[in-house]
Amino acid sequence: MSEQNAVLDEFMQGLIRRNPGEPEFHQAVYEVAQHIIPFTMKHPKYEQNQIFQRLTEPDRIVSFRVCWEDDQGHVRTQRGYRVQHNNAIGPYKGGIRFHHSVTQGILKFLAFEQTLKNSLTGLPMGGGKGGSDFNPKGKSDREIMRFCQAFMTELSRHIGPFTDVPAGDIGVGGREISYMFGQYKRIRNEFTGVLTGKGISYGGSEIRTEATGYGVVYFMQDMLATKGQTFVGKRCLVSGSGNVAQYAVEKINELGGTVVAMSDSSGTVYDKEGITAEKLAHVKHLKEVQRARISEYLTKYPNAEFYEGKTPWHIPCDLAFPCATQNEINGEDAAHLVRNGCMGVSEGANMPSNQDAITTFQKGGLLYAPSKAANAGGVAVSGLEMTQNSMRISWSRDELNTRLRNIMSDIHSKCVQYGKEEDGNVDYLKGANIAGFVKVGEAMLAYGVV
Ligand code: NDP
Ligand code: 2IT
């Protein structure tokens, strides 16, 4: 074993021992450590000051009970969390997830990734993540409101516009942010930019809703340009049908690509004629208004097919956009994509590809954009929402879209700067990890031992 591998191995063994039962956190740290450990061995100031070790230990984690009453008058109890991971370069910033699968380990992986992602945006934001094991599926609007209010009643004592600024994630969209913002305002008697993703008329930003999905596609556009290619005529798979997926599809269509699949946790819709703007409007209605399953797509468009319980990755495509959840692409799925001629993957979801899948993409020579780079557009526009709130102004859609486009290109350039290999290929994962780490690491060094 090389010295680097021995150090990496020892580091990971210690991390796993200190964080038992948190496989997603181990996976996220390994993905970064494989590049940062060798990097810090070449730059001893980071190693001597234990910068990476410190970066893998969250600043703090709060967990709290959330009690609420359902429509039948039954008392329900959930667990809420906020992982305040690192505030070296700005207030903690990151989404809130409501999903039955939420655990402390999942939020630790997300908060760790968020710290590096936020660093890549170039904006002054630290990393955090929160959420609850509350399952929003099948809940009435009033139940959602009561849960959001109960959750914020407790969370409000830990956040603030200069401390920690949460936003949306899985199960938390405009509706939930509004209920939480309303409750914060009521408890604190302050109208302040404490959450992002707010409605436009009460402190929200244009383009925030679209930003993650658009950014994922802009990043792919930049990767394709390095090969002299564009979206025109490319067949694309998009998993998920929530916020990120919807706006990824919208932008792919605008750039001349054809999306042939979308999905949710019940299965995949395959529409070989393409999910056009008109069909996408129907998906948005199904998901945002009716809160229905994706299989309902076939009621209006019977020429499509529905694969129950399946992900989209067996369908032939040129480009793939995982926009649902972590570990939704395994090694076998990745092998299908490579065999079927897929040339690029841009990750909308956080850590959607497992380690086997990433190895398969990289060996297959695909353009592979890891989530911390590709989906950073969402939090970037959240950062711009914070700026607008502080300045008490609102920028136009065009202004914000231009800023988002430039931020995604800057992130692409940073990945190339730190990830270009001797053969000319770009290892975007390595580039994103090192570029994200260096900015946070320099700030931590400046603060001394804290
Ligand atoms: P939404 O709640 O709007 O949509 C989530 C979508 O993913 C739904 O279609 C959902 O299906 C599907 N999904 C969720 N969990 C699973 C699962 N376990 N198996 C299969 N499908 C699943 O969330 P977002 O679109 O906001 O988030 C999607 C991903 O993007 C997440 O990984 C999130 O962390 C990431 N992300 C989000 C950002 C944002 O700005 N919102 C920013 C950056 C990253 P179903 O309805 O059936 O559960
Ligand atoms: O994973 C993410 O980057 C988000 N869920 C968005 C976070 C934010 O603060 O906008």
- Tens digit of each residue's pLDDT (9 = 90 or more) over 290-306: 999 999 999 999 999 99
242: exposed, middle or buried (Cβ count in 10 Å: 0-12, 13-18, 19+): buried
Among the candidates 192, 226, 241, a domain finishes at: 192
Q: What are phi and psi of 165, to 5 degrees?
A: -125, 95
Does residue 119 contact residue 440 with C-beta atoms inside 8 Å?
yes
Return all residues near 445 (Cβ < 8 A) that are at least 6 apart.
45, 46, 49, 51
Q: Tens digit of pLDDT for each residue in 172-221?
A: 999 999 999 999 999 999 999 999 999 999 999 999 999 999 999 999 99
Does residue 115 contact residue 127 with C-beta atoms inside 8 Å?
yes
Determine the average pLDDT of the residues in 141-164.
98
Q: What is the CATH number of the domain that holds 221?
A: 3.40.50.720
| Residues 353, 225 share a domain | yes
Atom of ligand 1 nearest to the CA of 172: 2
| Residues 85, 51 share a domain | no
| Residues 70, 34 share a domain | no
| Residue 316 lies inside a defined structural domain of this protein | yes
Domain count, the chain: 3
| Residues 163, 185 share a domain | yes
Return all residues near 273 (Cβ < 8 A) that are at least 6 apart.
303, 304
| Residue 290 lies inside a defined structural domain of this protein | yes
Distance 140 CA to ligand 2 centre (A): 25
| Residue 278 lies inside a defined structural domain of this protein | yes
Q: Which of 93, 129, 234, 372 is catalytic?
A: 129
DSSP 3-state percent helix, strand, coil across the chain (nearest 5): 50, 15, 30
Instruction: Note the pLDDT of residue 172.
Output: 98
Q: Tens digit of pLDDT for each residue in 341-376?
A: 999 999 999 999 999 999 999 999 999 999 999 999
| Residues 269, 222 share a domain | yes
* 129 counts as catalytic: yes
Percent of the chain with pLDDT over 70: 100
| Residues 151, 14 share a domain | no
What end-to-end distance do the CA atoms of the chain give, in Å?
34
Among the candidates 145, 160, 192, a domain finishes at: 192
Instruction: Note the pLDDT of residue 373.
Output: 99
Residue 169 Cβ inside 6 Å of ligand 2? The answer reads yes
| Residues 145, 82 share a domain | yes
The rounded mean pLDDT for the chain is 98
Quick one: which of 242, 207, 249, 233 has its CA closest to 381?
207
| Residue 102 lies inside a defined structural domain of this protein | yes
| Residue 231 lies inside a defined structural domain of this protein | yes
| Residue 435 lies inside a defined structural domain of this protein | no
Instruction: Note the pLDDT of residue 315.
Output: 98
| Residue 15 lies inside a defined structural domain of this protein | yes
| Residue 434 lies inside a defined structural domain of this protein | no
Q: Tens digit of pLDDT for each residue in 69-112?
A: 999 999 999 999 999 999 999 999 999 999 999 999 999 999 99
| Residues 244, 128 share a domain | no
From the CA atom positions of the chain, what is the Rg in Å?
21
pLDDT exceeds 90 at position 1: no
Atom of ligand 1 nearest to the CA of 324: 7
| Residues 68, 42 share a domain | no
Q: Tens digit of pLDDT for each residue in 390-417?
A: 999 999 999 999 999 999 999 999 999 9
The whole-angstrom separation of Cα 133 and Cα 102 is 5
pLDDT confidence bin for 321, thresholds 50/70/90: very high
* Contact residues of ligand 1, CB 6 A cut-off: 168-171, 173, 212, 240-245, 264-266, 323-325, 348-350, 375, 378
Task: Give DSSP secondary structure letters for 152-183.
Answer: HHHHTTT-BTTTEEEE-BTTB-HHHHHHHHHH
Among the candidates 344, 374, 404, a domain finishes at: 374
| Residues 309, 328 share a domain | yes
Q: What is the CATH number of the domain that holds 66?
A: 3.40.50.10860
Of how many residues is the chain composed?
Answer: 450
Atom of ligand 1 nearest to the CA of 376: 43
Instruction: Note the pLDDT of residue 288.
Output: 94
| Residues 354, 225 share a domain | yes
Does residue 231 contact residue 256 with C-beta atoms inside 8 Å?
yes
Which of 177, 195, 375 has most ligand 2 atoms within 8 Å of its beta carbon, as the pocket-test mutant? 375
Domain region containing 213:
209-374
| Residues 68, 50 share a domain | no
